Amino acid sequence: MKPILQLYRGYANEQELIVMGHVFKRTYNYDFQKKNFKNARSIINQFRIKTLQNFDVYLKLGDQEIHSKTLDDGYFKFCIPLDKEFSFGWMEYEVSIKYKSEIITAIGSFIRPHKGNLGIISDIDDTFLISHTRNVFKKMYILLFKNVNDRKVFKDVVPHFQALSSAGRNNKEEENAFFYISSSEWNLYRFIVKFTKIHKLPRAVILLKDIKRGITDFFMSGRGNHNHKFDKIKHVLEFYPNLKYVLLGDDSQHDPFLYEQICKIFPVTVKAVYIRQTGKFQKKSTKAILKNLENLEVSVCYFKDSSQAIMHSKSIGIIK
């Protein structure tokens, strides 16, 4: 059976283009319409996926065709120096693979952000997608038995994110650089893309954790080491060094600690940190971290409802 070529949203600055994807053996795709046990089976199948290692992949960039191969987990990434000026905004790229005598082609998109002052980096679970990360069993139940159309966002999170996306822009066609960086795995990429489209959240580059390839991995989804998340956030700040950043997360896992590390390394780069309160009470450890960030002249907001975050963003002049 023909393999599946999955592309992810890429990004570019003035010097470099980065695009990535996976090559899978053909299995059942996630069906966004399935309910209950059918949805559960569909989700579990995403964690039983088989990848193709050392598989030839070809990126078409202008008049060039650039050849590479997949890594052991079927992942590929092209980091390509740019020798000519690209336009701004979202653009398409093309990757192809060869299977027997057939060429399989997929079209992806990448962003070169319009010149501006602001970049936004957000977590996903319990930052805008209600996931109940603090309760492992409830999180698993919702992931298995609530399909993408039934999942919910927090109230007022969409207008807040939309306002951040357009902050400082006079042209409606222009958007700020927006990244969703999560400890969820690449297995859930299509789910996340679909969910953000349904709820009209800003179109963003999505950076996730290494793909899982076994049913036992499913029960550890989103858990374990979060160093990859720190590394990806650090990379984005280094890739777009002239932007001021807004970081959004929640207090259910390690976001406050990770964001504190980032602020210490980039003391003039982060403008504001937003942490959603996921329990009944604010956490002392989170409050201590945010107080420390205020000492670094980072504006902070520890909020229960997104309406509070919106008011804070207005008060510091990020949004109108």
DSSP string over 23-49: EE---PPP-TT--HHHHHHHHHHHTS-
Whether residues 145 and 58 fall in one domain: no
Total domain count for the chain? 2
Rounded Cα distance between 262 and 61, Å, is 33
Q: Which of 63, 97, 112 is the last residue of a domain?
A: 112
Does the pLDDT value for residue 212 go beyond 90?
A: no
Question: Token pair for residue 102?
Answer: 């057939």
Q: From residue 174, give the alpha-carbon distance in Å to each of 19, 89, 178.
A: 21, 7, 12
Q: Which of 112, 138, 171 is the last residue of a domain?
A: 112
Residues 215-239 have pLDDT tens digits of: 665 556 555 566 899 999 999 999 9
Start-to-end CA span in the chain (Å): 53
**Strand ranges of the sheet holding 75-81, from the earlier edge strand across to the other edge:** 64-69, 56-61, 89-99, 102-112, 4-12, 16-24, 75-81
Whether residues 19 and 93 fall in one domain: yes
Single out the residue of 2, 164, 198 nearest to residue 97, CA to CA.
2
320 assigned to some structural domain: no
Does the pLDDT value for residue 187 go beyond 80?
A: yes
Structure confidence at residue 28 (pLDDT) = 59
Pairing status of strand 89-99 against strand 102-112: antiparallel
**Of residues 171 and 177, which shows the higher confidence score?**
177
Does the pLDDT value for residue 70 go beyond 90?
A: yes
Whether residues 13 and 93 fall in one domain: yes
Q: Which of 112, 136, 170 is the last residue of a domain?
A: 112
Residues 4-24 have pLDDT tens digits of: 999 999 999 999 999 999 999
Whether residues 15 and 123 fall in one domain: no
| Residue-range definition of the domain harbouring residue 64 | 4-112
Whether residues 78 and 207 fall in one domain: no
Give residue 88's Cα distance to chain centre.
Answer: 20
Rounded Cα distance between 289 and 260, Å, is 7
Please count the other Cβ atoms lying within 10 Å of the Cβ belonging to residue 213.
16
Q: Which helix (H) or strand (E) holds 16?
A: strand 16-24
Structure confidence at residue 78 (pLDDT) = 99
Rounded Cα distance between 50 and 23, Å, is 9
